[in-house]
Amino acid sequence: MRKMMVILGLGFVCSILVLAATTPADLEKNWPQWRGPLMTGVAPAGDPAVVWSETKNVRWKIALPGKGHSTPIVWGDRIFVSTAVPVGKADAPAAGASAAPQPSARMGMPSTKTTDLHKFVVLCINRQDGKVVWERTVREEVPQEATHEFGSWASSSSVTDGERLYAYFGSRGLFCLDMNGKIIWERDFGQLSKRMEFGEGDSPALAGDKIVVTWDHEKSSFIVAVDKKTGRDVWKVDRAEGTSWATPVVVEVNGKSQVITSATKLIRSYDLETGALIWQCGGMTANAIPTPFAADGILYVMSGFRGNALLAIRLAEAKGDISDSGAIVWRRDKDTPYAPSGLLLGSFLYFLRGNNGILTCLDAKTGKEYYSGERLEDMGNIFASLSAAKDRIIITGQQGTFTVIQHGPAFKILAKNKLDDNFHASPVIVGRQLFLRGFKYLYCIEEKA
């Protein structure tokens, strides 16, 4: 796997902009955002255990309060986790809340409503021993919106630049905290109205001095960039878009930064400095969820609800409407994921079919198929995204079964592991440690030296 310094080298046309103030060494030893330091799901310097269980290679395990499916982030010796903790009935139901929790009567997957007052909490946990360093409640209210039966009211991941923590709770707002838990500023963007009451879950993107939030729902959608020091708008652009859940990604193309969003109607790229539209194209399915990612000048965008779509886009050639242009290097219309984001490790592209344990591996440059339809047994539904380090890929099943796959053109299972919890959050890898956030517990997996 290419080294981090090479990935961030000036010879590349396109590079992921994670944090302007960080160095390659900072990125190698941290997981500062959803999808990791490169936004590809890969820990460049990671080397986690291959085998684990409740009795093997668990450095520590702690119970987490409340419910949340957000993926933890890591900076230095601290882990940051967000959760929603019910604390009893409110004095009066919030506007739009049901008289009692009940599943939705809509067709399809049921959703859940609540009349319980919730504390929206950020936890700071010591990476070495699992002890809580501090706990901060950033908001206390009854959620007005429903959430998917498999979702939570704390499904969006935080992001950090190592100096501040930016915790995002969707309709609750965006909160800037210092590393000791003091709230510096907060922003309320309004109330989301997601399609079919499926709940919230996308995360913010942090690049340089800006935090970017997409606000795609069934009412007035927009994308906004705020100043990370003050929380004030730098720019805001309306979007003719319905509900999506894909986290934006920021890339550098020919020396300029672009914010790229995936959604049902259009994939769009905006100028990070001004919000001006640079290019757009169609091609995704409904309910766009997987996060785009890029490397070596090529962007990969995929979705898989009631259809299959994967586009590989050469960013240096993308201008205007590129739907039928040569900027699209290759396409694929089968076996793409619904909820889990794919993974780019070296020149190999990995992804699941739908929410199932059926794995595909392609050549990222050409779309050539190395294998597809490889079934991972006993995984159940899979909502967590793929993560990887060194020569292995970790796939997380909802029912606590983990499959570790050998990186490369041939399908090979290295291990199957089991923990006594359920999992929707994606694996986080920092050095030799693997952090797994379950419904009840946070695990630190580390093989003894």
pLDDT tens digits, residue range 68-106?
999 999 999 999 999 999 998 876 554 444 443 343 444
How far apart are the C-alpha atoms of 266 and 289, rounded to whole Å? 13
- Asked whether residue 104 is assigned to any structural domain, the reply reads no
- Is the per-residue pLDDT at 109 higher than 80? no
What distance in Å separates the CA atoms of residue 402 and residue 279, rounded to the nearest whole number?
39
167 with 138: CB under 8 angstroms? yes
Per-residue pLDDT, 28: 73
- Per-residue pLDDT band at 15 (split at 50, 70, 90): very low
Q: For the chain, what percent of residues have pLDDT higher than 90?
A: 85
Is residue 122 pLDDT above 50, yes or no? yes
Q: Count up the domains in the chain and report the number.
A: 1
- Flag whether pLDDT at 36 surpasses 60: yes
Average pLDDT, the chain: 91
More confident residue, 55 or 105: 55
Tell me whether residue 196 is in a domain.
Answer: yes
Phi, psi of 215 (to 5 degrees): -125, 70
Report the predicted TM-score, pTM, of the whole model to 2 decimal places. Answer: 0.92
The rounded percent of the chain whose pLDDT value lies above 70 is 90
Domain that holds residue 116: 4-96+111-446
Alpha carbons 16 and 14: distance in angstroms, whole number: 7
Cα 437 to Cα 35, 340, 385, 401, 426: the distances in Å are 14, 16, 13, 13, 8
d(CA 153, CA 172): 9
Residue 364 located in a structural domain: yes
Please tell me the total number of residues recorded for the chain in this structure. 449
Indicate the DSSP class of residue 57.
S
Structure tokens at 279: 């290019």
> String of b and e for 51-66 (b: at least 16 CB within 10 Å)?
ebeeeebbbbbbebbb
The pair phi, psi for residue 273, each rounded to 5°, is: -80, -35
pLDDT at 10: 28
Query: Does residue 153 fall inside a structural domain?
Result: yes
Indicate whether 360 belongs to any domain.
yes
pLDDT tens digits, 198-238? 999 999 999 999 999 999 999 999 999 999 999 999 999 99
For residue 303, what is the domain's CATH number? 2.130.10.10
Local confidence band at 448 (pLDDT 50, 70, 90 cut-offs): confident
Residue 449: pLDDT band with limits 50, 70, 90? confident
Collect all residues with Cβ–Cβ distance below 8 Å to 25 and sequence separation of at least 6. Answer: none
* 102 located within any domain: no
Choice among 61-65, 108-112, 311-315, 392-396 with the minimum mean pLDDT: 108-112
Residue 105 lies in a domain: no
Task: Reply yes or no on whether the pLDDT at 27 is more than 80.
Answer: no
